[in-house]
Amino acid sequence: MNTSTITDNILSARYLRKGEKTFEDICHRVASALASDEKDRELFYEAMTSLRFLPNSPTLMNAGTEIGQLSACFTLPVPDSIPGIFDAMKQGAVIHKTGGGTGYNFSHIRAEGSPVRSTDGVASGPVSFMKAFNAATDVIKQGGRRRGANMGILNVWHPDILSFITSKKEEGSISNFNISVMVNDEFMTLVRDRKFDEIWIKHPVTGVKVTVGEIWNGIVDGIWKNGEPGVLFYDEINRHNPTPGLGDIDITNPCGEQPLLPFESCVLGSINLAACINEGKFDEELLDDTVRMAVRFLNNVIDANVYPIPEIEEATKKTRKIGLGVMGVHDALLMLKIPYDSPGGRKWCGEIMHRITETAVEESQLLAEKLGTFPEWEKSTWKERKVRNAAMTTVAPTGTISLLAGCSSGIEPVFSFAYTRMNTVGKTFFIVSPVFKEALHSTLSEKGHSGDELKKREEEVIAHVHDTGSIQDLEWLPADFRSLFKTALDISYRDHIEMQAVFQKYVHASISKTINMPNSAERKDCEEALLAAWTLGLKGITIYRTGSRDSVVLSLGNSE
């Protein structure tokens, strides 16, 4: 069994439409629906069929079909009224039905115990409503093709913050939501200065007080126990808000890579960096051409898109944000023989991401010359440059499209170079990374192994990787081979964070990434990681300690 068998399975389950038999059929439909001219149609088709660029799943599923909803990311406002709350739930249901994920900030809802004037009762608070949204998602399940994903956010200054932080404590509760606390610099400064006894919130009605330490310990404890809540950095997000004139940003999509204004949506697309390597050399020109093509592709999606509700169309077309990202980053590093967790690895990644963003901006400028700037350009920070899109780059999880492309996901290090994967119908597949297999073969040959002995050694190593996930303890393997082929769990959490920071420096929106920690990590490691993330200018952070959860809701390689 190999990767293509899995790919076939994903294709038939998710992307093939009536009358389509092959991946090329899908690419043909998508390219024809989105290209403005024949030349671009060919370029779009070539980039997708060669697996060098893929748009997000909804575009692959719905372009050129009656549904026509092409975006993965949505953010919806939740006002403090019963009709408003249930409007948001309805809007979310419509979005899930067409394959999109929704983010909500529940902070506008009044705190539990506050008065409700019209009924003379007391409010049940944001967490109780989040449970209702969760139940609604269970019912919809995205038309059977994709699971309904939500992000639930609460600001750290909301009086219900403690019950929010512990709302997913029970394994399996509120399972259709990722939850994140939106913290600000003021809070993080108090934490940094260890002012844990400071009163941070006083409930407006009950008068109950909550200290900085109670909240911080709650966050750290939750992360240590089961990887939630995630943490979002409000001030950093808003320091880079491209359209401050349209308001502050306090919402992100489900996996966090897109901080957006209420009702905005964003279409994502990712370039497979491993597919830009020819004969061991990274082809920068090919990358530049791919970036330019991808910007035109994603910009066209904004106009071809069928929007679930008019408010979303209006907000999206005001800023015309697109989300161009990367995948296959670790594969590319391995092919170039640069360790992920090395200064050289970070340098290479920084240079490539810088190049991608600069090229994307140039292409968006060309589009603006032809078609005009995005309508709210004057309310934006793009003073020096007239561009068609308020934001261009991001890093998506690429949970499914990286499987389709057969590359490592997003900017994540490979989880294991040999593993068993179960598909949607319960069949299991044994997968060995081709880059690893090849490098192992030549390393062992160089060490003088040959024939049956070589084969036996190879099998031994692969079985070991499959069972333990690592080669770091196989000391007889050469040191440079071992330091190159480190996996997500071999790499220290500090190196994970530093890699995210390098990308964040050059990415307009945000980054979806999991900071992996070994099972033995302690609470103080989680604290240190959160503080490092804030100091290094990340917009958000997700930490996961191995084995701390029975099942993972929406994580990499596990999005089926």
Work out whether 101 is an interface residue with ligand UDP (CB under 6 A): yes
Which residue among the candidates 228, 257, 264, 363 is catalytic per the annotation? 257
- Interatomic CA distance for residues 159 and 155, integer angstroms: 9
Which residue among the candidates 62, 241, 253, 389 is catalytic per the annotation? 253
Closest CB to ligand UDP among residues 10, 127: 10
Enumerate helices (H) and strands (E) in the chain, giving the number of each. Answer: 20, 20
**CB crowding 132-143: b at 16 or more within 10 Å, else e:** ebbebbeebebe
Contact 206, 196 (CB under 8 A): no
Joined together, the tokens standing for residue 298 give 């994603």
Contact 107, 126 (CB under 8 A): yes
Least separation in angstroms between residue 70's CB and ligand UDP is 11
Work out whether 542 is an interface residue with ligand UDP (CB under 6 A): no
- Quick check: is 284 catalytic? no
Position with the least CB separation from ligand UDP: 101
**Closest by alpha carbon to 162, among 209, 197, 95?**
209
Judged by CB under 6 A, which of 56, 105, 178, 300 binds ligand UDP? Answer: 56
Contact 436, 417 (CB under 8 A): yes
Work out whether 73 is an interface residue with ligand UDP (CB under 6 A): yes
Least separation in angstroms between residue 55's CB and ligand UDP is 7
Footprint (CB under 6 A) of ligand UDP, residues 268-307: 268
Q: Is the four-CA dihedral 2, 19, 399, 226 of positive or negative sign?
A: negative
Footprint (CB under 6 A) of ligand UDP, residues 382-401: 396-401
Phi, psi (rounded to 5 degrees) for 151:
-115, 130
Q: Is the four-CA dihedral 467, 472, 478, 483 of positive or negative sign?
A: positive
Work out whether 259 is an interface residue with ligand UDP (CB under 6 A): no
Least separation in angstroms between residue 56's CB and ligand UDP is 4
Work out whether 262 is an interface residue with ligand UDP (CB under 6 A): no
Closest CB to ligand UDP among residues 111, 294: 294
Least separation in angstroms between residue 515's CB and ligand UDP is 17
Which segment (253-261, 305-313, 444-452, 515-523) binds ligand UDP by CB under 6 A?
253-261
Which segment (142-150, 421-429, 461-469, 488-496) binds ligand UDP by CB under 6 A?
142-150
CB atoms under 10 Å from CB of 58, counted, come to: 27
- Quick check: is 9 catalytic? no
Work out whether 75 is an interface residue with ligand UDP (CB under 6 A): no
Work out whether 57 is an interface residue with ligand UDP (CB under 6 A): yes
Please give the C-alpha separations between residue 190 and each of 183, 195, 197, 200, 212, in angstroms, as whole numbers.
11, 5, 10, 10, 7
Work out whether 61 is an interface residue with ligand UDP (CB under 6 A): no
Least separation in angstroms between residue 269's CB and ligand UDP is 9
Footprint (CB under 6 A) of ligand UDP, residues 196-235: none
Work out whether 155 is an interface residue with ligand UDP (CB under 6 A): no
Work out whether 308 is an interface residue with ligand UDP (CB under 6 A): no
Judged by CB under 6 A, which of 152, 230, 254, 308 binds ligand UDP? Answer: 254
Closest CB to ligand UDP among residues 205, 306: 306
Work out whether 178 is an interface residue with ligand UDP (CB under 6 A): no
Torsion angle in degrees (nearest 10) through CA of 271, 273, 275, 280: 160
**Closest by alpha carbon to 232, among 171, 187, 167?**
187
Which segment (254-262, 328-336, 414-422, 515-523) binds ligand UDP by CB under 6 A?
254-262
Closest CB to ligand UDP among residues 110, 146: 146
Please give the C-alpha separations between residue 17 and each of 25, 56, 146, 270, in angstroms, as whole numbers.
9, 16, 15, 22
- Quick check: is 27 catalytic? no
Closest CB to ligand UDP among residues 257, 288: 257
The verdict on whether omega for the bond into residue 126 sits within 30 degrees of 0, i.e. cis, is no
Work out whether 411 is an interface residue with ligand UDP (CB under 6 A): no
Which segment (143-151, 463-471, 494-502, 533-541) binds ligand UDP by CB under 6 A?
143-151
- Interatomic CA distance for residues 47 and 31, integer angstroms: 10
Beta bridge partners of 76: 104
3-state SS assignment for residue 99: coil
Judged by CB under 6 A, which of 28, 147, 513, 539 binds ligand UDP? Answer: 147
Work out whether 69 is an interface residue with ligand UDP (CB under 6 A): no
Which residue among the candidates 105, 112, 226, 255 is catalytic per the annotation? 255
Work out whether 312 is an interface residue with ligand UDP (CB under 6 A): no
Contact 141, 99 (CB under 8 A): no
Query: CA 364: distance to chain centroid?
Result: 23
Joined together, the tokens standing for residue 131 give 């449970």
Work out whether 114 is an interface residue with ligand UDP (CB under 6 A): no
Contact 56, 396 (CB under 8 A): yes
- Interatomic CA distance for residues 492 and 334, integer angstroms: 18
Element housing 319 (H / E): helix 310-319
| Amino acid code (one letter) for 514 | T
Residues in contact with ligand UDP, counted by CB under 6 A, come to a total of 22
- Interatomic CA distance for residues 481 and 490, integer angstroms: 13
Which residues sit at the interface with ligand UDP, rule CB under 6 A? 56-57, 72-73, 100-101, 146-147, 149, 253-255, 257, 268, 396-401, 554, 559
Catalytic positions, written as ranges: 253, 255, 257
